[in-house]
Each structure stands twice: as structure tokens, then as C-alpha cells.
Amino acid sequence: MKIELQQLKEEALQSIKSASGLEELKQAEIKYLGRKGKITKVLRGLKDLKESERKEVGSLANDIKNELQAEFSQKKNQEGGVKKESFIDVSLPGEKIDKGHIHPLTIVQSELEDLFRSMGFIVLDGPELESDYYCFEALNMPKDHPARDMQDTFYIDKSSLYNKDEENKDLDLLMRPHTSPVQVRGMQKHGAPFRAVVPGRVYRSEVIDACHEHTFDQMEGIMVDKNISVTNLIAVIKELIDGLFGQKMETRVRPGYFPFVEPAIEMDIKCTICQGHGCPSCKNSGWLELVPAGMVHPKVLKYGGIDPDKYSGFAFGLGLTRLVMMRYCIEDIRMFNSGDLRFLEQF
């Protein structure tokens, strides 16, 4: 009897192993463990055995039955046949979902992009690893031009470049210290009339402190068309400033100097902290420098492939990072690239 049981067990295990699909498994289960199954029959026949044999065979038969049942259900699970009972306990507390935050720079940048789009400007991008030609030459700053020292530029050691021999071969490369090179790239690509803003990162070799960073953001703007004048320039920048602060701001215009614009101006706003009375933030002048700008120099238009006798234009350069600092009263510029969640979670 015991030998018979062992044989049955082997047989059953074999058919579990070779069963393909749920249906075959179920059939095999019925064949061995069903009401009229082979193992069940043995268990039923126990009562006819002698007392001494009954105990021993009975316990073996039970063990085999349990073992086979386990094998069957494991294989059925593998075949995906037995679905776990699932239910939703609606009384359990929910899991907190971590929310990401939009970087303050991105918030202001998108607002400005929308504002400029509404005035018919396109949004352009340009390379951050840029040539000396676009950063300086084409902006009316030939080699030796003193204005090149206005920014402390990071120059690139060409031997460190991956792409050494291709298009970069004859170029002096640098990390762009301003977004102005995209003025010329944009004009070359799109021709006149042309309206664009260029938000982006710029790099300068600065000693870092609460007010200075080597990496920060600017937004360049340029508009070229027939009969563009300083009046258009001032109107657009005023629109920009009012849009940015959400109210009419008091502004003033001063002369400035940048080689790529003539005339150059500086647009200031009345100090938002002391309302013009004078405080440390405005160095007691009552005004904050906000937007340097000017009429695009005829030479720069030419570099852009545009005839300065037919077209004129204006350009401006917003210190995007500085604007965001003013808007949200951020006192330390180093927070911007810190990745510090305590800072970012406030926006």
C-alpha cells in the first residue's frame, strides 16, 4: 500500500510538471485529489485496513495529499490561475504624494515668454559654448576692444574638447558671458523683420558671494523692423516692467554704454524697497538699475545680414536672475543653483 502511494505521488508530481495551462492542471488535480481521485480513494479505503497499518498508511497518505495540494496551488499561481483576494480598505490613511516645485527662475521666465509672445516675439535658444566671433566680434567688439574686459570670460582649452577637429577647429571658444550673441545668430537665421527673446544661462569668472555667481540667467530681446526708434524701445520695456511687477512702475532712462548698441540706455525703476527715498538696496539713489538696452548698432545689423539703411532695431538684456531676486526678495544668489529643497519648496 505504501509503495502504491509513493508511486501515485510520483505520477501526480510528474503530471503537475508536464501540465501545460490551467485546464490541464485542473484535470490532473481532479484525477488525484478530486472526490473520486486516486489519492482520495486510498484515503477512503483506510477504514478497511488493519488498525496497525491504518495509522501508518493514513499519515503517509495525508502527507502526500497535503504536499500535492501545495504543488498544485503553487503551479496554478505561476499560471496566474489563482487571483489573490484583493480589496480596498477605504479606512486606511492615504499616502502623501511628494509634489515637485517649479524653480523661481522658471516661473518668471515663462511669464516673460508669455508676455513677449503676446507682443509677437518668438523665443529662441542659443549655444552656451559659443565662439569668440558671436560673443564679441559680431557685436562690434574686435580683439583688443576694452569692452571685452566688461565681463570676465571663461575661455575654453580646446585640447579638452571632444569634438576637436570638426567645425570648431578654427574657432576660439568660450562659455558665453551674455545672451547677446543670439542677436546675430537670430538675425542671420530669420532675417528682417525680426522679434525675439532669448532666455538662457551665461557664465562669468566671478568671485562668488551673495550677489555674484559664475552661472546665472539673462534674457536678451531684439526687435528689427522698418522705422524702429528709441520710442518703441522704451514702450516695450515699460510694458515688460509693468507686466512683471503687475502694476504701473515709475521708471527713468539714463544714457549707458555698450558697444553693440548706439545710443545705449539704462532703464531704472524707482526702488521698490524705499519707494525712492534712499536705502542700502538702491545705494541711497532711490533707483534700481533694471534693463540695459539700446538701438542695435548698424555694424551689428550688418553682421546679422540685415541692411542698416533699410532696417533699424533695438535690443535689451535683462538680468533674469537679478529680477527674480528682486521679485521674491531672495537675498543670496547662491540659492539658485544650490538644489536646496528648503529653498525650492517655498515656490
* Sites of contact with ligand DAH (CB under 6 A): 178, 180, 220, 258, 261, 292-294, 315-317
Tell me the β-bridge partners of 270. 287
Q: Closest CB to ligand DAH among 9 and 297? A: 297
Dump strand ranges (E) for 226-323: 251-256, 261-270, 287-296, 312-318
Dihedral over alpha carbons 214, 293, 181, 208 (to 10 degrees): 0
Q: To the nearest whole angstrom, how small is the minimum distance from the Cβ of residue 178 to ligand DAH?
A: 3
Q: Closest CB to ligand DAH among 16 and 325? A: 325
Q: How far apart are CA 188 and CA 302, in angstroms?
A: 10
**DSSP H helices in the chain:** 2-18, 22-33, 38-45, 51-78, 104-117, 132-135, 181-190, 230-245, 298-303, 320-328, 341-344
Q: Closest CB to ligand DAH among 16 and 318? A: 318
Dihedral over alpha carbons 201, 206, 208, 209 (to 10 degrees): -100
Q: Closest CB to ligand DAH among 13 and 150? A: 150
- The C-alpha angle with vertex 251 and arms to 151 and 203, in degrees rounded to 5, equals 20
User: Which residue's beta carbon is nearest to the bound ligand DAH?
Assistant: 317
Q: Closest CB to ligand DAH among 79 and 262? A: 262
Q: Closest CB to ligand DAH among 25 and 187? A: 187
Contact 25, 76 (CB under 8 A): yes
Q: To the nearest whole angstrom, how small is the minimum distance from the Cβ of residue 233 to ligand DAH?
A: 9
Q: To the nearest whole angstrom, how small is the minimum distance from the Cβ of residue 232 to ligand DAH?
A: 14
124: left (phi over 0), alpha (psi -120 to 50) or beta: beta
Q: To the nearest whole angstrom, how small is the minimum distance from the Cβ of residue 294 to ligand DAH?
A: 4
